[in-house]
Amino acid sequence: MRPVRADRARHAAILKALAHPRRFALLEKIASARSPLGCTQVLAHLSISAATLSHHIKELEAAGLIHVRRRGKFHYLSLRPGVLQSVAERLARLETAGRAASRR
């Protein structure tokens, strides 16, 4: 798999999307699914309205965290491969740079 390349603005958008507890819970649900997760399955597990779910899906999709496959009136959600790893690597570089700076 090719590594995901993202700039500072993209990483900031991703972290902003993840900062909301409901979106984070939704992303956890999508990530733990063995196959693309249908919206009706999500609604059965999270106590939110369909309109609220739709809003959170749009935010996660706009940030580039998930892929939404539309089939007729049904939507299936899956995690975009490598995106979270890219963010984790950038955060790890910040920590490494911070430790190096504190040694000076």
pLDDT at 18: 95
| Long-range contacts from 45-52, C-beta under 8 angstroms, 24+ separation | 46/22, 48/22, 52/22
Quickly count helices (H) and strands (E) in the chain.
5, 3
pLDDT at 7: 82
* Distance of alpha carbon 61 from alpha carbon 47, whole angstroms: 20
Amino acid in position 92: A
* Distance of alpha carbon 54 from alpha carbon 50, whole angstroms: 6
Domain-located, residue 59: yes
pLDDT at 25: 94
pLDDT at 81: 92
pTM: 0.82
Q: pLDDT digits over 29-46, tens only?
A: 999 998 999 999 999 888
pLDDT at 101: 65
Number of domains in the chain: 1
Task: Give me the CATH number covering residue 34.
Answer: 1.10.10.10
Domain-located, residue 3: no
Q: How confident is the model at residue 1 (pLDDT cuts 50, 70, 90)?
A: very low
Place of tokens 């249908």: 38
Domain-located, residue 2: no
Domain-located, residue 1: no
End-to-end CA distance of the chain: 37
Q: pLDDT digits over 76-97, tens only?
A: 999 999 999 989 998 898 888 7
Domain-located, residue 36: yes
As beta bridge partners, residue 69 has: 76
Segments forming the whole domain that contains residue 44? 8-103
Q: Which tokens go with 95?
A: 């920590």
Higher pLDDT, 12 or 104: 12
Domain-located, residue 43: yes
